[in-house]
Structure 1
Amino acid sequence: MRRMTALALTVLVSTTAQADALSDAGGVWMRDDGNARVRIAPCGQKLCATNLWIGDTSKGEEVGDRLVMTLKPNSANAAKGSAYDPKRKLTFSMTLQVARKGLTTRGCIAGGLICKSTRWTPAQ
């Protein structure tokens, strides 16, 4: 009985600590190139990043574009999973890492052969 209680408590504490990575990602963020401001918030059982502002729209980015992320915590400050871009009909693997001064996202396609990392800082 003690072993089961200890195991249940460990799982509960672990799950609570890992949930922080996803909840810490919520908010409004500015992309490191200064061209996009997004809001990350829950959307159903998933997490969505929605463009609130785009400086240069020449690459096809628009206000209202959304990325739907299906992520699971894999440490206290990181989550992994997939992301779907409905506008481009593209699904890719994704990691999200929360740090004290911001967060970093990394998306990969082609089985991880083509990847891009982006840094985000809290929007003022």
Structure 2
Amino acid sequence: MKRALAAIGASLMVTATAALAQKPPSNNKPMPVPAQPAEVAGVWLNPTGNTRVRISPCGPALCGNITWLKISNDPQTGEPLTDKNNPDPASRNRPLLGLQLLTDLKPGRAAGEWTGKVYSPNEGKFYNANFSMDGPNEIKMEACLVIGLLCRTQTWTRVN
């Protein structure tokens, strides 16, 4: 019995090793190459021209922080604009300038695509987002309430 189990185990190991060594059948379609995060790194201007966001590495992914606001101070108080709509009361006084809007950007399924989350300080909410390069100086961002539903797309422009 022990010999039989040992023989079956050895046979399974040989079969598994042989299967792993074989190349999968070719269907003449190249495997997609993961996008390189450096393509999207840089400073981007939102469509309304009032916010610049720098996308750069942070940990194993990319993040995007506000680096410039056309209007950075509250016109009524003269104080810096803050994250006043954040659901966490402790975060409502943090300034918008420097705030992380894009988090956990990782390469998507195809070159020039990324997935991550985008924070909307106007609403104090995070949304799932897909990003795709539209040439070297434009990136399309699609943010959705629910994956694939109730989405909004914006085109951001690279700032040189």
The answer to whether the superposition gives a TM-score over 0.5 is: yes
Higher helix share: 1
What residue number does 1:106 align with?
142
Could you tell me whether the CA contact under 8 Å between 1:69 and 1:84 is conserved in 2? no
Tell me by how many angstroms 1:99 deviates. Answer: 1.8
TM-score by length of structure 2 reads 0.58
What residue number does 2:104 align with?
69
Q: 1:3 aligns with which of 23, 34, 51?
A: 23
What residue number does 2:48 align with?
33
Could you tell me whether the CA contact under 8 Å between 1:51 and 1:63 is conserved in 2? yes
Is the counterpart of residue 117 in structure 1 residue 153 in structure 2?
yes
C-alpha RMSD of matched pairs (Å): 3.0
Give the residue type in structure 2 aligned to 1:73: G
Structure 1: 5+ residue runs without aligned partners? none
Give the residue type in structure 2 aligned to 1:18: P
What residue number does 1:95 align with?
130
What residue number does 2:86 align with?
none
Tell me by how many angstroms 1:90 deviates. Answer: 2.9
TM-score by length of structure 1 reads 0.72
Tell me by how many angstroms 1:70 deviates. Answer: 4.1
- Give the distance between the partners of 1:112 and 1:70, measured in 2 at CA: 17
Task: Provide the identity percentage.
Answer: 22
What residue number does 1:51 align with?
66
- Give the distance between the partners of 1:95 and 1:19, measured in 2 at CA: 13
1:116 match: secondary structure: strand
Tell me by how many angstroms 1:123 deviates. Answer: 0.6
Q: Is the radius of gyration larger for structure 1 or structure 2?
A: 2
Tell me by how many angstroms 1:96 deviates. Answer: 0.4
Task: Tell me whether 106-115 or 34-43 shows the greater mean CA deviation.
Answer: 106-115
Tell me by how many angstroms 1:110 deviates. Answer: 4.2
How many residues get paired? 114
Task: Tell me whether 59-68 or 40-49 shows the greater mean CA deviation.
Answer: 59-68
Structure 2: 5+ residue runs without aligned partners? 1-20, 75-80, 84-95
